[in-house]
Structure 1
Amino acid sequence: MLALGVFAQGTSAVVSSGTPFLLPALTERGMSLATAGLLVAMPMVGMVFALIPWGYVVDRVGEHKVLVTGCALMCVAAAAAATVTNYVALGILLLAAGLGAASTNSASGRVIAGWFPPEQRGLAMGIRQSAQPLGVAIAALTVPTIAAAHGFSTAMLVPAIMGGLAAVGCLVGIVDPPRPALTTTERPANPYRGDSTLWRIHGVSVLLVIPQATVWTFALLWLHRDAGLSLPVAGVLVTATQFLGAAARIGAGMWSDRVGSRLRPLRTVAVAAVVAMVALAVTAGLHWWWMALPVLAAASAITVADNGLAFTAVAEIAGPFWSGRGLGVQNTGQHLAMAAVAPLFGALITAAGFPAAFLAAAVTAAAAVPLVPRDRQH
């Protein structure tokens, strides 16, 4: 269950977070950074529209059917994108791929939350959440190189192949976790009613995903344009930082299991994200590359460490009959913010440079710190 959940979520990350690696190929063709940013944000837009509906479907029909259907849609849409050159058609197909990619967020999270006990759940969910930076690493290693050599459409074969493999794997191997039975007249309690905890976690995650998306979206371009690294070298460096991010998510999950809390580590990670993004803005602005590159690596790890913590907390608080929708709401806010980062921060970079964007991301992380709720008293 864990391996298939990781692979399905990794494929989703290649679709949703890998398309920004098409930015060099698109901008070198004369497209403005803001326009190119809008195009590569289309998978995120698709995910925003589909996350809550997929979560509702998961709550009603289970994880197996949702994972198979969503991964198959990713495969078909990405394969079709590999055959077109028209930007409008490509944008529509990227949107469709994002619709399919959204299925894995709630479904794979529910599979793991359902099959692992609380004392192992943080680690298991951290491993599952590591799929996102690993997916970005795969995209960083393959997409810009393929796009530079054969065109951006051909690079879409990477998520197409992964989507097909994920669909077959989930069809054969995913088993829905057990859920407690309800009587025909019994309705599960709404965890959002009379309690702001889930809403606060959602808000924290939206704010903290902005530094993450800023680093993921623009690191390759920053390393190429400002630091003067070649695209292959920059791609390898970004790939290495994604492995650090995967390790950070796993470590954060183990930490939360050990201390018996998801929210206390979440607050610490939020503070660390502020420090990391301020340091990145300062070193990038001063052109201290000897320091800026290690800071980028640290920021890439720190800014993703919160995701598994918040995701696990939502699944646990929402419960087995609301966690699909809860995780859908959680990811909708995050992906809406991530979709906005590419065009908005692209425009900010055009006007004021990369350091200004890094500093703006630090401000959003700072706003998240006081919003982190405290653990419930039992």
Structure 2
Amino acid sequence: MLAAVAFANLIVAAMQFGLGAAAPALRSDLGLTTLQLGFVLAGAPAGLMLGTYGWGVLADHTSERRVLTAAFVGFAAAALASAWAAHDQPVALLTLLLLITNAFGSATHSAGGRAISAVFPQRRHGTVLSIRHTAIPIGGFVGGLAVPAAVAGASLAWALVGFAALGLVVALALWLTLAHVEVVQRAVTTAPLPRGRSPLHRPVLWLLAIGCSSVAFVQLGIASFLTIQLVDDGGLTLSRAALVFAAAQLVGAAGRVALGIWSDRVRDRLALLRGVFAGVFVLVVGAVLVTNPSVDGVLLTLILVLSTTWQGVGVAAAASLAPEGRTGSTLGMQTTLNAAAFTIAPIVIAFVLHHGGWTAVELVLGGMVLVAVASLTLARVRRDAPSSAVNAAASE
């Protein structure tokens, strides 16, 4: 079951990050400006933003198996429609269909996370959710190599046809593997579980989500334009830049598992997240200060690596703070804010890059990381306050 949900995450991430890795080719093939490219790349995360909370609420009230299977059948159909739109159709239509495709794929973040957190004990959430979320940078690695190669060797349309086929494979795998989970849950459940209040009423969850989404902005802001920096300023070929991008995703994946295991030992996941975000800030400051484009490219790559490591721990922290019976909607809430950051990041970074260059971009990234560190600090204060404990008990 964990493997099937992780595979679903991998496919969705491969599309999102693969399009970013192929950005130079898409810019030339579609005849786009950098700002127009930012809007196209925002289509995929916009779909995640619009879909994930709804899938989580639906999973809280019905079967994860049905939700995930239906979602990935829809993912496959929408990806096929996107392939059609990639053939001389308006760019706005392609962007819309990419949004719809990823709105279906977003179910894996909330409904998939709910399925995993229900099966494994909380003491192992850091590890298992990090393993599941490791599929995202691995998907970035695969997509970072496969999508640029497919676009260069065939076309964007054929790359999207491949995603449609993979979506059907994912739907079948989820339907088969989650059947066992349903049987186990029916066997251990004798009465309906009480439901706590909506996670929207918990300030600590908002602070956690704001902090995580601020670093998500940094992650995708760099991921969307790193290959352009490496090609335009660093002098690399697209194939070498794509290899650097893919390697960063792979190292980030390893870091994600290591951080998840560490979080299960130290227990205080909010403090661990704050430390990671502080490390990202140090790297951003270094990028602002250097003047050599090649060194800047190295630092941006390191920022991408470190900003990729936190998501499994962030999800585990949210799951541990979720109201009773509201894990799906809690994870949906957090992923919605992350996806909102993913949506605006390519547009904002494209605008700032066009008008101010990479130093201006790095100043924006530094501001976002400061927001993240402050939010996690406040979240720890809110979590540890006596009134917070009383309110949490009352809401559950």
Q: In which range does the TM-score fall when normalised by the shorter chain?
A: over 0.9
- Give CA deviations for 1:175-228 in whole Å, capped at 9, x if unaligned: 2463875867x8512164764211111111121111111121111111111111
Kept in 2: contact 1:209–1:303 (CA 8 A): yes
- Give CA deviations for 1:37-59 in whole Å, capped at 9, x if unaligned: 11221122122111111111110
Structure 2 matches for 1:141-156, cutoff 5 A? 141-156=145-160
Structure 2 matches for 1:200-349, cutoff 5 A? 200-283=207-290, 286-287=291-292, 289=294, 291-319=295-323, 321-349=325-353
State how far apart, in whole Å, the 2-side matches of 1:193 and 1:105 are: 18
Aligned to 1:178: 185
Structure 2 matches for 1:1-378, cutoff 5 A? 1-29=1-29, 30-84=31-85, 85=87, 86=89, 87-174=91-178, 175-176=181-182, 178=185, 187-190=194-197, 192=199, 195-283=202-290, 286-287=291-292, 289=294, 291-319=295-323, 321-372=325-376, 373-374=379-380, 376=384
State how far apart, in whole Å, the 2-side matches of 1:17 and 1:352 are: 24
Q: How does the TM-score come out when normalised to structure 1?
A: 0.92
Compute the displacement of 1:22 (Å): 3.9
- Give CA deviations for 1:122-160 in whole Å, capped at 9, x if unaligned: 111111111111111111101112212322222223422
User: Which piece of structure 1 moves more, 269-278 or 149-158?
Assistant: 149-158
Compute the displacement of 1:332 (Å): 0.8
User: Which piece of structure 1 moves more, 142-151 or 342-351?
Assistant: 142-151
- Give CA deviations for 1:277-326 in whole Å, capped at 9, x if unaligned: 2223333xx1252x445433421221122211111111121145111111
State how far apart, in whole Å, the 2-side matches of 1:280 and 1:158 are: 37
State how far apart, in whole Å, the 2-side matches of 1:354 and 1:54 are: 37
- Give CA deviations for 1:32-85 in whole Å, capped at 9, x if unaligned: 111121122112212211111111111011211111111221212112222332
Q: How does the TM-score come out when normalised to structure 2?
A: 0.88
- Larger helix fraction of residues: 2
Kept in 1: contact 2:35–2:351 (CA 8 A): yes
Residue identity matched to 2:18: G
* Residue aligned with 2:234, SS: coil
Kept in 2: contact 1:15–1:101 (CA 8 A): no
State how far apart, in whole Å, the 1-side matches of 2:200 and 2:68 are: 29
State how far apart, in whole Å, the 2-side matches of 1:275 and 1:210 are: 17
Percent identity of paired positions between Structure 1 and Structure 2? 26
Change in Cα spacing, 1:98 to 1:197, as seen in structure 2 (3 Å) is same
Residue identity matched to 2:143: A
Kept in 2: contact 1:130–1:249 (CA 8 A): yes
Change in Cα spacing, 1:257 to 1:191, as seen in structure 2 (3 Å) is farther
Compute the displacement of 1:356 (Å): 1.9
Kept in 1: contact 2:17–2:144 (CA 8 A): no
Q: Please report the RMSD computed on the Cα atoms of aligned residues, expressed in angstroms.
A: 2.1
- Give CA deviations for 1:72-117 in whole Å, capped at 9, x if unaligned: 2121211222233212332232122011111110122112211212
User: Which piece of structure 1 moves more, 187-196 or 201-210?
Assistant: 187-196
Kept in 2: contact 1:22–1:152 (CA 8 A): no
Residue identity matched to 1:109: G
* Residue aligned with 1:28, SS: helix
Compute the displacement of 1:252 (Å): 1.1
Q: Mind listing any 5+ residue stretches in structure 2 that lack a counterpart?
A: 390-396
Kept in 2: contact 1:15–1:97 (CA 8 A): no
